[in-house]
Amino acid sequence: MRNAFQEELDSIHDTLVRMGNIVATSMEAATRALLEPNLELAETVIKEDDTIDEMQHELDARTMMIIARQSPVAGDLRTLVTSLRMSADLERMGDMAHHIAKLARMRYPNCAVPNELRETIVTMDRVAVSIIKKTTQAIDTRNTTLALELEKDDDEMDKLHRQLFKVLMDEKWEHGTELAIDMTLLGRYYERCADHAVSVGRRVYYMVNGEYNS
């Protein structure tokens, strides 16, 4: 019985890791679709979000079934309940990539990002993908050091977000209100992705230690 239960726990763990890997790939592809611009790639990312959503729904249903059937306690229960929360955060991170891809599709065949913001968006993508990969690694290895590092990584994203707003608010901005709104939303997508990663990191810490880091 214990071996079968452990296999079920391992399956939940493996699904979370797969979700994280797909989200990282989707974020990277969404930004490429935005900057190239590439309509086919944008459509691929949009479709992939359905896969992430389905994985979350299936994982949550499987987790609830395990809890109902096995009545786990202590660390096992903490792992399962935390997994429910982490799957929700990963799904939302996937949604951010989905939104970026939709922006790329909406503005195609034009590039939605003006030249003066291109470098900032490239950097925000690099930071976001790095954060997603580190989040996935923290889940996979239960490494609390990596999990806590995510808050510092989020600080870097927040700094980039402020830089983007500085350009948008500058009197030299000449691209109009509509593009300013697009860029405001775009910056928010990357920033929110990092926020969800921090949430996952805190849950990894709680899963391992049974308490939240203060």
Separation of alpha carbons 59 and 196, rounded Å: 18
Amino acid at 160: L
pLDDT at 75: 87
CATH of domain 2-209: 1.20.58.220
Cis ω for the linkage preceding 72 (within 30 of 0)? no
Q: What is the pTM of this model?
A: 0.95
Q: Per-10-residue mean pLDDT for the chain, 214 residues long?
A: 82 97 98 98 98 96 92 89 96 98 97 95 98 98 96 97 95 93 97 98 95 78
pLDDT at 2: 67
pLDDT at 118: 96
Domain boundaries, the chain: 2-209
